[in-house]
A and B are shown apart, each in its own frame.
Chain A
Amino acid sequence: MSIAAPADLRSTHSRGLWRGRLFVAALLLSLAVGFLALGTLVIDVVVKGIAYVDPVLLTNPPSSDPGIAGARPAILATLYLGVLLIAFTVPIGVGTAIYLEEYANKNRWYNRLLELNIQNLAAVPSIVYGILGLAFLVRGLGLGRVLLAGALILTLLVLPTVIIAAREAIRAVPGSIRDGAYALGATQWQVVWRQVLPAAIPGIATGSILALSRAIGETAPLLLIGALTYVSFNPTVMGPFTALPVQIYNWTRLPNPEFKALAAAAIIVLLAMILLLNAAAIWLRNRYQKRW
């Protein structure tokens, strides 16, 4: 909760008062501009596409006829990708963060290199992950152009985000909490599992929300891995696949203007899906939010 300055301690000095007010105004302006820009986008999309959000979109396979075209295979595939993504990224990302913050000796060169490495990976363009996936997962490991390969590549793409967010969350847990637990005889893992992690859940949740949101909207690496533009049957984890952003991308490129409206409708569905997938994380975050 935010701390209100007690009334009698508030500065009555007029210059300080106005500076304070100006500051709040500036902050609100930042918030407003951010929301305005993003909001305009969403409203624009909603206006264009809401008429096309209907059961047909959700249950039909794609078609060249915009009257009956739907995005069912794409929606299901994105759902599977989202679930797999959470299942992979959270354990590996949080595990790495715990290792770096709690177990690794920070003075060792290889641990510092690891830190630099992770930060660097965050800047690699998504298409490079596509190339990586094609070379090592699709061809190297022989997985083929399957949904699982797509999920793995997206995992690698957003792992740095989760790791960095988790690290900051773990770092922010006060040392006194740890010391207290050690003083009571806890082992290192017990301290981490029972004290540090629960306290760090909000930050970890934020990281996973941002990561999931980004990954679900990615197109380029999936295209390279072999996401198809026409698939009329439901996806399986080890089968050919498409994804909602790929479907949207394909529809926007088609000349028929009706497909552009369908694309907007699909974007609305995509945003709803992100909200759904993130709902659990948001709930967890609100529940475990602590203020030291």
Chain B
Amino acid sequence: MGIRPLILAGAIAAVALLPAGCGRSDTQGASAAGPSTTSSGAKLSGRIEADGSSTVGPFVTAAAEDFQAQNSGVQVTVGISGTGGGFERFCNGETDISDASRPIKDDEEVPVCQKNGIDYTEFQVANDGIAVVVNNDNDWAKCLTVDQLTKIWGPDSQVGNWNQVDPSFPDEKLTLAGPGTDSGTFDFFTKEINGEEDASRTDYQATEDDNVIVQAVEGDKGGLGYFGLSYFEQNQGNLTDVEVDGGSGCVAPTTATVQDGSYTPLSRPLFVYVKNTSLAKPEVKAFVAYLIDNQAQIAEKALFVPLTDEQAQKSKSDFEAGTS
């Protein structure tokens, strides 16, 4: 009788070890970028610790994978404690790299780093857009102006119906969903749309999990939500994106429009912050160099928006300055 659970476990193990794998898609091919730019030729070794934003995390992870494939002596670990949590650890000296979906805060976070003697360098590594999405059956809200978005999302907003946003819209209940208050996406959206960080109406479905936002908007004809562009790009069948008019016409959120800045104001930069003492170590220097030199390919692989040539140039010169 007690043997049965063991048999069951064994059966599962046997099934697992069958050369099935029939569900997997073909691999997307070899790693995206060429060899790393180490000039010394000596084998790199050591451990690099990155932590911070859950938005930037996948970018650094994709880079870490490729980097480790070419430098097997290096161990890179990535955490997602959040942009704020990442900075806390970073300014405590616990991590080498801090991933951030917003710049470090001058009033709250910079003083802590200064107090602990942590000098760092900031690098922009990618761009990101925020997509505003509606239900597939929503055929009236093809384009929304920033003013209309402010009207919907402002702190004192009582708008509960689409026809209150614009009289030409039908009489349809407005259901809102979006990231919670601790998300960098929330911070950015509220700052751009409502003029101030954390200023928002409070009666919407707030969640950290983008799947849930998708669910909420999908389930309601009058649903409206917002989240990162890369998420939308991989779920395009389920929802419809809204073009945003930032003052110069309706622009749809795509990689191109985010990169050239025409999708405004909902485009934002993504950063990594590197401790200067870590930057002096060869393996960290090589990794950051890898990030900066290959950001376009990494962005394509991890579905981010790459830097413009100008931004890439700036990151490179920041790197030169920081490592000289």
Chain A residues within an 8 Å CB radius of B62: 64
By the criterion CB–CB under 8 Å, are B54 and A253 in contact?
yes
By the criterion CB–CB under 8 Å, are A269 and B61 in contact?
no
Is the interface on chain B under 10, 10 to 19, 20 to 34, or 35 or more residues? 35 or more
Segment among A2-10, A22-30, A46-54 that sits at the interface with chain B: A46-54
Is the interface on chain A under 10, 10 to 19, 20 to 34, or 35 or more residues? 35 or more
Give the interface centre of B12, B75, B77 by most chain A CB atoms within 10 Å.
B77
Decide yes or no whether B139 CB sits under 8 A from chain A.
Answer: no
By the criterion CB–CB under 8 Å, are A53 and B77 in contact?
no
Decide yes or no whether A230 CB sits under 8 A from chain B.
Answer: yes
**B residues 63-86 in Cβ contact with A at 8 Å:** 64-65, 68, 75-81
| Given A55-B21, A257-B234, A287-B2: A228 touches B79 (CB 8 Å cut-off) | yes
Q: Map CB proximity to A onto B98-141 as digits: 1 under 8 Å, 0 otherwise.
A: 00000000000000000000000000000000000000000000
Decide yes or no whether A63 CB sits under 8 A from chain B.
Answer: yes
Q: Map CB proximity to A onto B206-249 as digits: 1 under 8 Å, 0 otherwise.
A: 00011100000000000000000011011100000000000000
Decide yes or no whether B6 CB sits under 8 A from chain A.
Answer: yes
Chain B residues within an 8 Å CB radius of A256: 234
Chain B residues within an 8 Å CB radius of A55: 16-17, 19, 21
| Given A54-B19, A229-B79, A253-B211: A66 touches B24 (CB 8 Å cut-off) | yes
| Given A52-B24, A67-B27, A232-B68: A269 touches B16 (CB 8 Å cut-off) | yes
**A residues 16-68 in Cβ contact with B at 8 Å:** 50-58, 62-68
Assembly CA distance A283 to B61 (angstroms): 42
Assembly CA distance A53 to B80 (angstroms): 26
Report the minimum CB–CB distance from A278 to chain B (whole Å).
Answer: 7
Assembly CA distance A282 to B58 (angstroms): 41
Cβ-closest 8 pairs across A and B: A51-B23, A283-B2, A67-B27, A54-B21, A255-B234, A230-B78, A272-B12, A255-B231
A-B contact pairs, 13 of them (CB 8 A): A55-B19, A57-B16, A228-B77, A232-B68, A232-B76, A255-B210, A255-B234, A256-B234, A276-B9, A279-B2, A279-B9, A283-B6, A286-B2
- A interface residue numbers (CB < 8 A to B): 50-58, 62-68, 223, 226-233, 240, 250, 252-258, 261, 265, 268-269, 272, 275-276, 278-279, 282-287
